[in-house]
Amino acid sequence: MFSQERNFTEWQLTGFGDAPAYLFETIESTHKLMKSMAVSGEIAPGTLFVADSQSNGHGRHERTWDSPAGKNLYFNILIPLDGIPAKRFAQITQVAALTFAEVFNELQEAAILENAIDKFENLVDKCAPTNSTAAPKITVKWPNDILFGKSKFCGILAEIVYTKIPASAGMTSENAGMTRVNAPRPALNMGVGINVNSDPEDYAHLNRAVTTLKAIVGRPINREKLLQRLIGSLERAIGQFKAFGIRPWVAAWKRMDQFIGARGTIVVNNRCTDQNRETGEGAIKKSGTILDMQDDGSLLFKCDDGSIETVISADLEI
């Protein structure tokens, strides 16, 4: 995972079930392109888009996601939803966040071991571990932001799209002149941005708590190998999610969580952008205490007025 990575255009990747992966050295937004191509039937569920840089990357509520070239990971995966009830679609991003966090924690543990070996052999003193038993840890802030301490380094944006699957296979000469398309099927267009080999200082202009994987583990990371691990782990997790639901991931989240019992603010109907995030224009904010994450992935939240709410969809500020 810490080996020298090859040129971006040489990366070997596939989507789910060996679906194709498309590499873009530069693009406006993998999320927007995937949505457009999925709706028009140009790509099938399972397809992966990966960019080396984006000119218009964004997160929730159109907030800017800086996308410099050659440093980080920006990708979209079109997740098939066959066999998953519609009421559970929203839980998939939580499963993804928890799955990715597990990979990142394994990466951190591997870096600690390699850094220790390097230090012992006096080969790379500058790569001393950046964490200790008292240091922050990698965890998931509800619903799906991945943090180190309180600094974000991975964000997930997802929306349901309805894909058109051409039904040209098996057509005879009698109906060859007819255009037939199967009924549109839902799929989840999930976009992921991960600060990998950039530096926290690169994001000072955003005025947010931001970090990077390189800063966390103390080493540059092979982005191709990391993405291969993430996609493989996510595909297995989706299969398990179909069989067992979200409960196993809720249990994992509780084991890693550092927010239960902490103060927080729920931001409902949030239309905040980078321009109005401080004023909160268009948002309803409720401050209180985080009580629990429930078995369905929702948040149990006690407001300062004493009321207790089950929060299914919102932003959580800590």
Tokens of 109: 């543990």
- Looking at the structure, tell me whether residues 144 and 265 fall in a common domain: no
The label of the residue with tokens 């989706």 reads: 238
pTM (two decimals): 0.85
Residue 126's CB: how many other CB atoms inside 10 A? 8
CB 250 within 8 A of CB 95: no
* Confidence class for position 173, pLDDT limits 50, 70, 90: very low
Whose CA is closest to 88, among 191, 226, 260, 242?
242
> How far apart are alpha carbons 70 and 59 in whole angstroms?
20
| 172 pLDDT more than 80 | no
- Looking at the structure, tell me whether residues 310 and 210 fall in a common domain: no
CB 209 within 8 A of CB 151: yes
Q: What's the average model confidence in pLDDT over 82-93?
A: 94
Tokens of 152: 């974000």
State the pLDDT at residue 223.
98
- Looking at the structure, tell me whether residues 211 and 225 fall in a common domain: yes
The label of the residue with tokens 């207790």 reads: 308
State the pLDDT at residue 130.
47
The count of domains in the chain is 2
* Confidence class for position 186, pLDDT limits 50, 70, 90: very high
> Do the domain assignments include residue 3?
no
State the pLDDT at residue 169.
39
* Inter-CA distances, 224 with 2, 52, 71, 280, 298, Å: 11, 11, 11, 38, 33
First and final CA of the chain: distance in angstroms? Answer: 32
What are the tens digits of pLDDT across the range 112-168? 887 666 666 555 455 544 444 455 689 999 999 999 998 999 999 999 999 986 554
> How far apart are alpha carbons 242 and 247 in whole angstroms?
11
**CATH at 266:** 2.30.30.100
Neighbour-count burial of 42, counting CB atoms closer than 10 A to its CB (0-12 exposed, 13-18 middle, 19+ buried):
middle
What are the tens digits of pLDDT across the range 238-297? 999 999 999 999 998 988 878 899 999 998 765 555 555 555 566 788 999 999 999 999
Q: Cα 311 from chain centroid? A: 20
> How far apart are alpha carbons 97 and 229 in whole angstroms?
14
- Looking at the structure, tell me whether residues 75 and 116 fall in a common domain: yes
CB 202 within 8 A of CB 168: no
Structural domain for 300, as ranges: 259-317
- Looking at the structure, tell me whether residues 60 and 173 fall in a common domain: yes
State the pLDDT at residue 205.
79
What are the tens digits of pLDDT across the range 20-33? 999 999 999 999 99
* Confidence class for position 64, pLDDT limits 50, 70, 90: low
| 174 pLDDT more than 70 | no
Q: What's the average model confidence in pLDDT over 186-201?
A: 95
* Confidence class for position 178, pLDDT limits 50, 70, 90: very low
- Looking at the structure, tell me whether residues 186 and 313 fall in a common domain: no
pLDDT top residue among 51 and 114: 51
Q: Give the total residue count for the chain.
A: 318
Domain stop point among 229, 254, 279: 254
Strand pairing category for 48-51 and 21-24: parallel
Q: What is the CA radius of gyration of the chain?
A: 21
> Do the domain assignments include residue 234?
yes
What are the tens digits of pLDDT across the range 194-235? 999 999 888 887 778 899 999 999 999 999 999 999 999 999
- Looking at the structure, tell me whether residues 300 and 198 fall in a common domain: no
- List 187's β-bridge partners, or say none: 80, 161
CB 61 within 8 A of CB 314: no
State the pLDDT at residue 206.
78
